Structure 1
């Protein structure tokens, strides 16, 4: 019995030690990734052209799709760097869907993206005001409206569902986009996702503040479609 107890205590000690080593290895790996992130040069709206900003997003998304993220601008140094001021190089109007977090799918970090998230990625007055703030006052050179595959808000609009409370408001905001694709062949929801992105861009282009930035060459507005299955963002013209 004494031998059994000693053996059991030894095995317990061994398992505890192994578990500790696993935690230490994980902690070390995290610290290495953080160090790498700190070494990646930070960029902001002040140093990027609209085309360069778009390229930065595309490259980040490719890293995400390839499962080789760099986790830029997520270090303690970056946290302090942007604590007093922000200059996001991109502004993204995207759906509030929990599966479409912009910083993750574009492999960006703190202070890089000015997020405006609302169901159906619709350009409400409040959303437009937020975007104007990012573009005019913060100097963001790129604006992307990003829809996504199998969007629930778009699906509800296509299927003409009766929804309770204020949920119906974003469906109403999407309906005008459906007129353009009502006779278009193919998947009705997928067609509507793309049409809705284009329609919301048209609404944004009516903003005097945003149109002035576009005309001066300081701002580029593009559409994007996020694939839930692959993680890839396709640019919509």
Structure 2
């Protein structure tokens, strides 16, 4: 996967670029999630992070955004999900404008859909997904879009999960080809991103325990790599506008562990 040269990237996305992207696509399609737009119910564009009609106030700080996600995950894990902002009215609210307040970058695993595990709805969060939550240039660019005006999300979460298939495939491939684990097609690129992390994790316990330790280490590594390679996100973090945090979702309990770092 190609790496950006951080020194050649501006610290903000020019407004004209943002406007052209919005006009051309009506928003950003990131990963498997189509990003809608939030409005107040009329044709007037909203400012960054307003409360849309029928919606609660939007988190304006990293701590508030994390608290909102934590509360949503608690509801999901306990079987009390509210499925907010999923009515026809909510759909109408976000048909023209949007104000998402977090970006979740996670794995493509079908059991870890960000909007579901955090009990959020249409227009609440940006979502990008790759196998193993690895990064590439297009994903980083999508995250930079979310971290820039007019959205400037206060929180970016790198979400790994227990029993990750991409991590498992990497670990198993390393057993037969330690130097350069391979897989068919472009999957080799994914393994190549995870393998350096796996090599740094000491084996403790059984294979499943080791894989989950690699998952934790990988979410930390991806979080740090994102800030390192993106001048835009690095500037947002330095200014206190955005926080990048790793987390791990437990497939069995349904709960997100924020204590990864």
The alpha carbon displacement at 1:69 in A equals: 1.1
1:110 aligns with 2:137: no
Q: Distance in 2 between matches of 1:157 and 1:149?
A: 14
Task: Give the aligned partner of residue 149 of structure 1.
Answer: 162
Q: Counterpart in 1 of 2:140?
A: 128
Give 1:87's aligned residue.
Answer: 99
**How many residues are paired up?**
197
Distance 1:106 1:165 in 2: 33
Q: Which moved more, 1:50-59 or 1:76-85?
A: 76-85
> Residues 52-82 of structure 1, C-alpha deviation per residue, up to 9 Å, x if partnerless?
0000000000000111111111122221221
Q: 133-142 or 183-192: which moved more?
A: 183-192
Structure 2 gaps, min length 5: 1-51, 174-180
Aligned-residue CA RMSD in angstroms?
A: 1.7
Question: In the alignment, which residue of structure 2 is the partner of 1:196?
Answer: 218
Separation (CA, whole Å) in 2 of partners of 1:224 and 1:157: 20
The superposition leaves residues 81-102 of structure 1 with CA deviations (integer Å, 9 ceiling, x where unpaired) of 2112222111011000001011
**What is the match of residue 212 of structure 1?**
235
4+ runs deviating over 2 angstroms: 38-44, 183-187
Higher helix share: 1
Q: TM-score scaled to structure 2, two decimals?
A: 0.72
Partner residue in 2 for 1:10: none
TM-score if structure 1 supplies the norm length?
A: 0.79
Contact (CA 8 Å) 1:88, 1:113: kept in 2 or not?
A: yes
Give matches, 1:22-171, under 5 Å: 41-44=55-58, 47-137=59-149, 138-160=151-173, 162-171=182-191
Whole-Å Cα distance in 2 between the matches of residues 145 and 151 of structure 1? 14
State whether structure 2 residue 191 is matched by structure 1 residue 179: no
> By how many angstroms is 1:43 displaced?
3.5
CA–CA separation in structure 2 for the residues paired with 1:155 and 1:177: 13
CA contact (8 A) 2:53 2:93 kept: no
Q: How far is the alpha carbon of 1:42 from its aligned partner? A: 2.9
Say which SS state the counterpart of residue 159 (structure 1) adopts. helix
Unaligned runs of 5+ in 1: 1-37
Any idea what the Cα deviations from partners look like across 1:112-154, whole Å, max 9, x if unmatched?
1100011110111111111010111322110000001110100
Preserved contact between residue 145 and residue 201 of structure 1 (Cα < 8 Å):
yes
Q: Say if 1:141 and 1:219, in contact at 8 Å, map to a contact too.
A: yes
Tell which structure's C-alpha radius of gyration is larger: 1
> Is the contact between residue 119 and residue 170 of structure 1 (CA under 8 Å) also seen in structure 2?
yes
Task: Verify the 8 A CA contact 1:144 1:221 in the aligned structure 2.
Answer: yes
Shift of 1:180: 2.2
Counterpart in the other structure of 2:25: none
